[in-house]
Each structure stands twice: as C-alpha cells, then as structure tokens.
Amino acid sequence: MKEVSTVSESAIEGLPLIHRGKVRDVYQVGERQLLLVATDRLSAFDCILPTPIKNKGKVLTSLSNFWFNRLSHITENHLITTDFEQMPDAVRRNESLRDRSTLVKKTKVFPVECVVRGYLEGSGWKDYQATGSVCGYELPAGLVQCSKLPEPIFTPSTKASAGHDENISVREVENIVGKETADKLGSLSLKIYDEASRFALSRGIIIADTKFEFGLDEDGNILLIDEVLTPDSSRFWSAETYAPGKAQPSFDKQFVREYLETLDWNKQPPAPELPFEIAEATTERYIQAYELLTGKTF
Ligand SMILES: Nc1ncnc2c1ncn2[C@@H]1O[C@H](COP(=O)(O)OP(=O)(O)O)[C@@H](O)[C@H]1O
Ligand SMILES: [Mg+2]
C-alpha cells in the first residue's frame, strides 16, 4: 500500500484561511468559491484529540461526495469538484491535500442546522424525558433511549458560532429565514434523510440522526452545502447490533470513547494522545463505514 501521511492542520500559500473548524479548514478561492480541506483531526467529548486519525479526512471527503451525487435528484448542492487535477495551482502544489479537498460554490449560509432524527438519542432523548416531546413534536409515551420514532422529525437548531447549538422550533426557523424558506429546508431535509436512511439500512447502517446545512447561491437557489451524511455529522449505528433501551456504540468513535473512559481525564482540553492501536482501529471503522455505504473499496 502507498505510504499515507496524516494532516492535522493545513496551510496553503496564497489562499486565505477563513475558518478552522473542529475538523475542516476552509479557504477562500477567488470571489465565489471555497476550498474545504478535511483534516485527520478527531473530536471526542467536544475536544479535538492530539492524535490524527490516518485517512479520516479522505474518507469524509469521498463519503460526502458520494452522497452529493446520489442525492442530486432531490437537491442541488455546492459541489464543484473533488478532482485534485482540477484544483487551483495553489492547492495542487500540496500533495498532502489530494483526496481531502473539495472545491465548492460559496453560498450565504442559512444560520440554521437542519437536524433530522429518526431515532431518540442525544438532546432529543433528553427533551423527551423532560417533556414527552422533541422540538414541539408530541411523541408517544413509553419510548426508550434510541427508540425508533414513529416517523422522522425535523428538529432544527441554531448554528452557534461559539458553544453548543440550541434546539429551536420550526416557528423560530420561520422567523430567521422566512416561512417559504423554512418550509423548503424542512421538506428537503426530511426527503434527503428518508432516501439516505433507507439506502444506508440496506447496507447495514442505521442513520439515527443527521445534520444538514443549506446556503443560497448567487442566483437565489437553495443548495445543500457543507459535509453530508458522514459519521461526523450523523449518528451511525450498526443495524446488526441495534438494541434500544440503552446507548448504542457509535460506529466510528466507539473505541476512542471507550478508551478515554478508562482514563481519569476530566474531558476538558487538552485531550490525551491515543494509543496507536486505538487510532488504527478508528481508521478501520471510518473505512468500514465508507465501504459499507458506498459498496466500494477505499
Ligand atoms: N458552500 C458553502 N458556502 C459557505 N460556507 C460553507 C459552505 N460549505 C460549508 N460551509 C461552512 O464551512 C464551515 C466548515 O467548517 P467545519 O469544519 O464544519 O467547522 P465547524 O467546527 O465550525 O462546524 C462551516 O461553517 C460551514 O457552514
Ligand atoms: Mg461543521
């Protein structure tokens, strides 16, 4: 196998870095484009770990690319290319950016995280326990942690630039983006989830919930942007071992979380290094998710 190097932080001479997220570095390309670089950073318990996960950025890039293409009959998206040869020169000079870079149309991002939940976990499970409902949807009594919902629900949240995202009602989304756009974001999100979750299930993966982002292009079209249906933006569970009534092992970060729980680390930065075997096993999990979903060898 070809030697692969990991990328924890990218730097591109000649392109302005406009955002360094938990996982991705975002560069401005001309007036109308962005370059999204998926690094090998991994976050767990909301902390970025110092140990990079080999190939993770490449897996995330290919997987989003796969979904953008697969879902293009439902929604337009921001994708221009992931083909390295078609990237600007400033990018192509950095071999380490190959297969982890996505050139996209720059949009005006709607400040709403479009979350769809098909199962009850995370903040949805918390809300349900407290109120019997999630984001204003009344749910049947007697659901347990990780129960499948009667039908998927759209549970948007704010896109907080700092701190945690906060669940908001559909009414609040209407106040932020207007009724017509709010309706579109909700119905697109549910349609995408419906199609993708059926497909994933046929490949042995439950998409318990996921988060989409949308933006407006120059011509006023709503585009699906950001990353799509990756382990970083979704909860993936193994359909084979799914058992409601308790937390499900997370498909990708299971070993990392289990390992970190054995330490007496207080879950505040700085996070500890991962042992080699844990990092390797995590790479394998990302690749496995990719291969199951796409049916291709990584
Ligand atoms: N097509 C696009 N146009 C404008 N912004 C985009 C587009 N695609 C993704 N983004 C933004 O790029 C950023 C990606 O960074 P990310 O690694 O997700 O960081 P964070 O940890 O802040 O979520 C997000 O803020 C996302 O909204
Ligand atoms: Mg993000």
Which of 140, 149, 148, 146 lies closest to 126, judged by CA?
A: 146
Q: Which residues line ligand 1 (CB under 6 A)?
A: 19, 21-24, 26, 34, 78, 104-107, 109, 213, 215, 225-226
Domain spans, the chain: 1-106, 109-238
Nearest CA to ligand 1 atom 6: 226
* Atom in ligand 1 nearest the alpha carbon of residue 223: 1
Classify domain 1-106 by CATH architecture. 2-Layer Sandwich (3.30)
Residue 3 has a pLDDT of: 54
CATH code for 109-238? 3.30.470.20
Among 24, 101, 159, name the best residue to mutate to test ligand 1's pocket (greatest count of ligand atoms within 8 A of Cβ): 24
Mutational pocket test of ligand 1: of 8, 36, 211, the residue with most ligand atoms within 8 Å of the beta carbon: 36
Ligand 1 pocket test, pick from 109, 164, 228 with the greatest ligand atom count within 8 Å of Cβ, gives: 109
CA-based radius of gyration for the chain = 19
Q: What per-residue confidence (pLDDT) applies to 15? A: 98
Q: What is the structure's pLDDT at 161?
A: 63
Report whether 57 contacts 39 (CB < 8 A): yes
Ligand 2 mean position, distance from CA 140 (Å): 32
CA distances from residue 249 to 225, 237, 239, 240 in whole angstroms, order as listed: 28, 7, 11, 12
Which listed ligand is nearest to 160 at the C-alpha? 1
Q: What is the pLDDT of residue 163?
A: 63
Fold agreement between 1-106 and 109-238: no
| Closest ligand 1 atom, residue 104 Cα | 1
Indicate the burial class of 270 (C-beta count within 10 angstroms; 0-12, 13-18, 19 or more). exposed
Q: Which of 123, 136, 208, 207 is nearest to 166 (CA)?
A: 123
Up-side HSE of residue 260: CA atoms within 13 Å toward CB?
Answer: 25
Query: What does pLDDT average to in each consecutive run of 10 residues of the chain (298 residues)?
Result: 79 97 97 98 95 98 98 98 98 97 98 98 95 94 98 93 79 96 98 98 98 97 98 96 96 94 96 98 97 97
Res 196: pLDDT: 98
251, 213 Cβ separation under 8 angstroms: no
Look at residues 67, 37, 103, 42 and name the one whose alpha carbon lies nearest to residue 232.
42
Residue 57 CA, ligand 1 centroid: distance in Å: 15
Gap from CA of 212 to ligand 2 centroid (Å): 9
Q: Which pLDDT score is estimated for 1?
A: 45
Give me 254's structure tokens: 């299971």
How many helices, marked H, and strands, marked E, lie in the chain?
7, 16
- At 263 the pLDDT is 97
